[in-house]
Amino acid sequence: MDLFNVISVDETKKILNEAFEEEVYCEDVHIKSALGRIISKDIMASINVPSFRRSTVDGYAVISRDTAGASEAIPAMMKLKGEVIMGAAPLCKIDFPGECVYVPTGGMLPEGCNAVVMIEYTDRLDEETILINSPVAYGDNVVQTGEDIENGEKVLEKGTKLRPYEIGLLSCLGIGNVQVYTKPKIAVISTGDEIVGCDENPKLGQVRDINSYIISSCVLEDGGEPLNFGVIKDSYEDLKKAVDDALNKCDIVLISGGSSVGKKDQTLKVINALEDSTLLAHGISIKPGKPTIIAKAGKKVIFGLPGHPLSCAVVYKVIVNYYINKLTNYNNIDYPVQCKFPINYHNSKGREEYLPVMLERSEDGEIIANPVFSKSGLITGFTKAWGYLKIKKNDEGIKEGQTVYAYKF
């Protein structure tokens, strides 16, 4: 493949889909530890929820036709049979027209009734007589058996990421352990003679490592397990050793820096020297992030990310995140914020651009997406940004006042 024979983002994703069919393994975890994990099989309900008819209000269980025409002027007079104790089955039932039973919110309904009158629409005449001041229809203020979840219903699909609400659902169904995908192990390798560790004092001409911290944090955010292999100097031998080690231990290898075609860029040389390796792409029509490498070593993927922090972060967000989700069948859907763009902005055709933006609300309530102009080597390009705009490669740019959609970083 020719170097920098750039391909589109869509073509890149297609290549990943065709080249890799692997999924990570699965494991059982308790739901207390399942937050953010992705389930590896469909979850089916084995019970009805609720398993009994229950009231949605405090009031009186009745036969709905007994309340027809009831009003404050002419209330329906009902005989009180008893009351339902919360958390217990009713000890009485409605046997005849004109009878009622007190039921608390969430309480189980007695046999014979089909509606509940809110207590606010009743008066108690004496210990055995209740006056109904408002009619109810069949099923009013009642949750039927299985109305929320039916026995045998699919409640969660394979690939769902568990939020607190899904975990509550699992608990409701009596599912204490759930099968999830294991967290993908992702190697993080930062390269460059000029790169030093976060705790070191850089000499003139050196810079502290940024990318491994950005990437590792992104991996954690995406449900992966980052393994940091440290900063590797621009040495073929050192990088080859680190990549070999990473391929033995991890599902994905991320190398930041060294993906271009300079004299000291070693990533491509190392990939070509790997056993059973194939170069899939070198150059993506994306701005920022053009000098990106994607390769296959055995059944595993290697991403050579640009060294500049903003470029590295964008390629991770657009390409690497896509592949991580593919491994775990997670169908992530972004819901962008609709905004107005305040200026005219020209786009260089031929590359899909990801423009960092800050959001602010104007005096008339509109959300404005203000562009953050930054060179790809500067860290503040995305620390200031709420998210980014996606500009298609054939678009000329954005006009002042145009409606745009901002995606969160």
User: Cβ contacts of residue 11 below 8 Å, gap of 6+?
Assistant: none
Q: What is the pLDDT of residue 362?
A: 92
Cβ–Cβ under 8 Å, residues 191 and 258: yes
For residues 234, 236, 239, 241, the Cα torsion angle rounded to the nearest 10 degrees is: -150
Query: How many CA atoms lie within 13 Å of 287's alpha carbon, on the beta-carbon side?
Result: 17
**Ranges in the chain, pLDDT < 50:** 1-2
How is the chain split into domains, by residue range?
9-25+183-327, 27-49+147-181, 54-143, 337-408
For 9-25+183-327, CATH number out of 3.40.980.10, 3.40.50.170, 2.60.120.10, 3.40.50.2300 equals: 3.40.980.10
Q: Does domain 54-143 have CATH number 2.170.190.11?
A: yes
CATH topology of domain 27-49+147-181: Molybdopterin biosynthesis moea protein, domain 2 (3.90.105)
Q: Which tokens in the block code for residue 339? A: 């905004």
Residue 364's alpha-carbon distances to 361, 368, 386, in angstroms, are 8, 11, 21
pLDDT at 2: 45
Is 108:89 a contact under the CB 8 Å cutoff? yes
CATH 2.40.340.10 fits 337-408, yes or no: yes
Phi and psi based region of residue 327 (left: phi greater than 0; alpha: psi -120 to 50; beta: remaining): alpha
pLDDT for res 164: 97
C-alpha 1: how far from its chain's center?
Answer: 35
* Helix or strand holding residue 181 (H, E): strand 177-181
Q: How many C-beta neighbours within 10 Å does residue 240 have?
A: 17
Of 379, 380, 388, 381, nearest to 409 (Cα)?
Answer: 388
Give the chain's radius of gyration (CA, Å): 31
Give the C-alpha separation, 137 to 116, whole Å. 9
Residue 1: its pLDDT value, please? 42
Q: Report which DSSP code applies to 364.
A: T
For the entire predicted model, the pTM comes to 0.86
Structure tokens at 375: 């060179």
3-state secondary structure of 263: coil
How far apart are the C-alpha atoms of 310 and 376, rounded to whole Å? 5
- Comparing CA positions, the residue from 60, 176, 51, 44 lying closest to residue 112 is 60
Token couple for 192: 């460059």
Calculate ∠ Cα 341-342-344, nearest 5°.
85
Backbone angles phi, psi at 165, to 5 degrees: -75, -40
Q: What is the pLDDT of residue 376?
A: 56
Per-residue tokens: 294? 């994607």
pLDDT at 332: 87
Residues 322-353 as b or e (16 or more Cβ within 10 Å = b): bbbbbbbbbeeeeeeeebebbeebebeeebbb
